[in-house]
């Protein structure tokens, strides 16, 4: 492709609303433009990269035994009512009516459609497994779209769904998809990690998220370099080698003392005011669990993990209570709560059991207790790991210190089981002749997000550094001065040759200053760059620059192909 024949509107400055680096660079390099909040157009370079990622996904899916389909974008309400999600999905589901005032949605995900499709045509276990996927736009009416392609409302996603006759077969399919995902992200040239994830309300023990490692990632990943354990912080367990009942055997100290702490609400404020470390404070949070209330206790410097709490309580729905509920239950506002004298059920984090003389809220505004002791002054009914892991906590498998890194979720696979097949009455006849529901799995990849994540991970001050496999073009040819006939002619014929050789090449044939071409080349981030310039005029040499390393290799026209081949090879994943 010649630069002058395509549409690559590069920009010196990013628009003001671009916050993160990938958003800025996608915009400045002319890969995307915004139409509306969270809604983007893909320009020629953007769609090329998206297509390369899509093709890698297709290859990976093929290897994993899945077939491509294309499902409708617009879905009628009754299917969503069958699954119960018309009510359950909430405001993220875009709903609208056609001219007959019939309700529809633009699919944010396609379980209903795929189940409807398969139940109509798959009637026997002999037809299983069925594993179908599509790569298509989706729409989720996010409360707050942000970060460009990272969290848009309309976005391109690969979503796949598998149907198996039983758990054992579903597990095999799951494993194939797990392997396929590893292959796909590796082919995309990403540094990533598959981590164990919470399965949410779906249940089952298999769920993995594929996280691209990047400091700007929205998710925290807990990992152990000693044994390879890795999990989303929502899920990550903490290793405790012995259940600490130490507090019970320690000698009892003096009874709790009520101290005034006027205007001190946060752990930080109380800690500073009373001159005690945050780790000696027990913070008390009132939580609404399935309609009832419980008090969750944590060391002052820890964060509550609602998912762990939900699992510990065996509850379906857990959320923090509002200030009004706190007031009603304890007689104090949030900020002065404590477990002493509380009437609600108490759930204590395992760490709390080792605290023998703690500071807690006194359930009167502006007062705290000191010298509070678990077992004597209050009695939790449940002890559980309910906090977020932090760096240095023990690995649940090998007890070595855990590390925390950040990641961007680009893929998620999990077992759906029979949740949808039961609700939507999707059954087949098994070997025993009895009808039974399909055992399903579901597998997603954010395609646009993968592009954004790659840029988030691979960039420098000058611009994007594309991995070879997903770059819009692999190779850029630059003629330093198009007005110089020697240079222009050489570059022109070189372009034709390389094109014939099958290179994925773009030729910057614009008649503009060298500075602009070179700046644009850095910004656009194609992996390899050939420069035809004064060195060619004077010495007959061409320059090949590797964007990733900055390495410059010179070649003659004779050695160019060989040099390109080996450089290209060095950039393969």
Partner RNA sequence: CGGGGCGUGGCUCAGCCUGGUAGAGCGUUCGGUUCGGGACCGAAAGGUCGGCGGUCCAAAUCCGCCCGCCCCGACCA
Angle of helix 44-64 relative to helix 447-457, nearest 10 degrees?
A: 110
Return phi, psi of residue 510, to 5°: -70, 145
Between CA 517 and CA 529 the distance in angstroms is: 11
Closest CA to 346 of 281, 292, 302, 395: 292
141 binds RNA (CB under 7 A): no
480 binds RNA (CB under 7 A): yes
Q: How far is the CB of 473 from RNA (least distance, A)?
A: 17
Q: How far is the CB of 302 from RNA (least distance, A)?
A: 8
DSSP E strands, 400-535: 403-417, 427-429, 435-437, 439-446, 459-460, 463-464, 475-479, 505-508, 528-532
* Identified binder of RNA from the candidate list 6, 19, 47, 418, rule CB under 7 A: 19
Q: How far is the CB of 460 from RNA (least distance, A)?
A: 10
Query: Environment class of residue 420 by beta-carbon count within 10 Å: exposed (0-12), middle (13-18) or buried (19+)?
Result: buried
149 binds RNA (CB under 7 A): no
313 binds RNA (CB under 7 A): no
* Identified binder of RNA from the candidate list 3, 8, 21, 38, rule CB under 7 A: 38
335 binds RNA (CB under 7 A): yes
Q: Which residue has the tokens 């001065």?
A: 481
For residue 129, say if its preceding peptide bond is cis, omega within 30 degrees of 0. yes
Cβ proximity to RNA, 230 vs 362, nearer residue: 362
Q: Are 325 and 286 in contact (CB under 8 A)?
A: yes
| Mask for 95-134, x = binds RNA (CB under 7 A) | ----------------------------------------
Q: Is 51 helix (H, G, I), strand (E, B) or coil?
A: helix
* Identified binder of RNA from the candidate list 112, 116, 237, 522, rule CB under 7 A: 522
Q: Are 282 and 350 in contact (CB under 8 A)?
A: no
* Identified binder of RNA from the candidate list 7, 12, 90, 241, rule CB under 7 A: 12
Residues 184-243 close enough to bind RNA by CB under 7 A: none
Q: Are 189 and 470 in contact (CB under 8 A)?
A: yes
Q: Are 326 and 360 in contact (CB under 8 A)?
A: no
534 binds RNA (CB under 7 A): yes
Q: How far is the CB of 378 from RNA (least distance, A)?
A: 13
* Identified binder of RNA from the candidate list 64, 107, 108, 145, rule CB under 7 A: 145
Contact range with RNA by CB under 7 A, out of 70-78, 96-104, 245-253, 515-523: 515-523
Cβ proximity to RNA, 147 vs 181, nearer residue: 147
Contact range with RNA by CB under 7 A, out of 12-20, 61-69, 237-245, 450-458: 12-20
Residues 6 or more apart whose Cβ sits within 8 Å of residue 460? none
Q: How far is the CB of 335 from RNA (least distance, A)?
A: 4
Rounded to the nearest 10°, the torsion over CA 207, 211, 217, 218 is -10
Q: Which residue has the tokens 């848009």?
A: 152
167 binds RNA (CB under 7 A): no
Q: Give the footprint of RNA on this chain (CB under 7 A).
A: 10-17, 19, 28, 34, 36-38, 143-147, 265-268, 283-286, 300, 303-304, 306, 320-323, 326, 334-338, 361, 388, 462, 480-481, 483-484, 513-516, 518-523, 531, 533-536, 543, 545
């Amino acid at each position: 492709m010649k630069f002058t024949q395509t549409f690559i509107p590069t920009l010196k400055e990013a628009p003001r609303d671009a916050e993160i680096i990938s958003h800025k660079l996608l915009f400045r390099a002319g890969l995307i433009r915004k139409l509306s909040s969270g809604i983007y157009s893909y320009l020629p370079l953007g769609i090329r990269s998206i297509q390369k990622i899509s093709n890698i996904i297709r290859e990976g899916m093929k290897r994993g035994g899945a077939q491509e389909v294309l499902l409708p974008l617009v879905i009628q309400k009754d299917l969503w009512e069958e699954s119960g999600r018309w009510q359950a999905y909430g405001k993220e589901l875009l709903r609208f009516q056609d001219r007959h005032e019939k309700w529809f949605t633009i699919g944010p995900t396609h379980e209903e459609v795929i189940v409807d499709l398969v139940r109509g045509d798959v009637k026997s276990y002999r037809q299983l497994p069925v594993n179908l996927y599509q790569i298509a736009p989706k729409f989720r009416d996010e409360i707050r779209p942000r970060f460009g392609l990272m969290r848009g409302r309309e976005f391109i996603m690969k979503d796949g769904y598998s149907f198996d006759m039983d758990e054992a077969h579903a597990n095999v399919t799951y494993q194939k998809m797990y392997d396929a995902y590893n292959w796909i992200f590796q082919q995309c040239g990403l540094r990533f990690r598959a981590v164990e994830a919470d399965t949410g309300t779906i249940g089952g023990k298999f769920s993995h998220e594929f996280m691209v490692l990047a400091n700007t990632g929205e998710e925290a990943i807990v990992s152990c370099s000693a044994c390879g354990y890795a999990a989303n912080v929502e899920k990550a367990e903490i290793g405790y080698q012995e259940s600490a009942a130490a507090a019970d055997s320690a000698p009892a100290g003096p009874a709790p003392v009520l101290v005034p702490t006027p205007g001190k609400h946060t752990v930080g404020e109380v800690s500073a005011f009373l001159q005690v470390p945050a780790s000696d404070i027990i913070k008390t949070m009132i939580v609404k669990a399935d309609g009832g209330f419980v008090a969750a206790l944590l060391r002052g410097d820890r964060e509550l993990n609602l998912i762990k709490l939900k699992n510990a309580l065996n509850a379906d729905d857990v959320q923090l209570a509002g200030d009004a509920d706190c007031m009603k239950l304890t007689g104090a506002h949030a900020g002065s709560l404590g477990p002493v004298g509380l009437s609600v059920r108490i759930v204590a984090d395992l760490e709390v059991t080792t605290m023998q003389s703690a500071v807690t809220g006194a359930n009167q505004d502006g007062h705290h207790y000191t010298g509070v002791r678990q077992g004597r002054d209050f009695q939790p009914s449940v002890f559980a790991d309910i906090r977020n892991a932090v760096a240095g906590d023990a690995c649940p498998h090998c007890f070595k210190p855990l590390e925390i890194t950040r990641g961007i979720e680009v893929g998620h696979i999990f077992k759906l089981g029979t949740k949808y097949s039961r609700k939507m009455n999707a059954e087949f006849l098994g070997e025993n002749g009895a009808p039974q529901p399909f055992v399903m799995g579901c597998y997603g990849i954010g395609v646009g997000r993968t592009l954004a994540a790659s840029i988030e991970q691979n960039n420098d001050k000058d611009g994007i550094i594309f991995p070879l496999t997903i770059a819009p073009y692999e190779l850029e040819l630059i003629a330093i001065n198009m007005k110089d006939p020697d240079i222009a002619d050489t570059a022109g014929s070189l372009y034709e040759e390389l094109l014939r050789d099958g290179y994925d090449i773009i030729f910057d044939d614009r008649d503009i200053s060298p500075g602009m071409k070179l700046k644009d080349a850095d910004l656009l981030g194609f992996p390899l760059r050939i420069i035809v310039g004064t060195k060619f005029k004077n010495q007959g040499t061409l320059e090949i620059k590797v964007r990733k390393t900055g390495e410059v290799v010179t070649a003659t026209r004779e050695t160019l192909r060989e040099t390109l081949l080996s450089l290209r090879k060095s950039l393969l994943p």
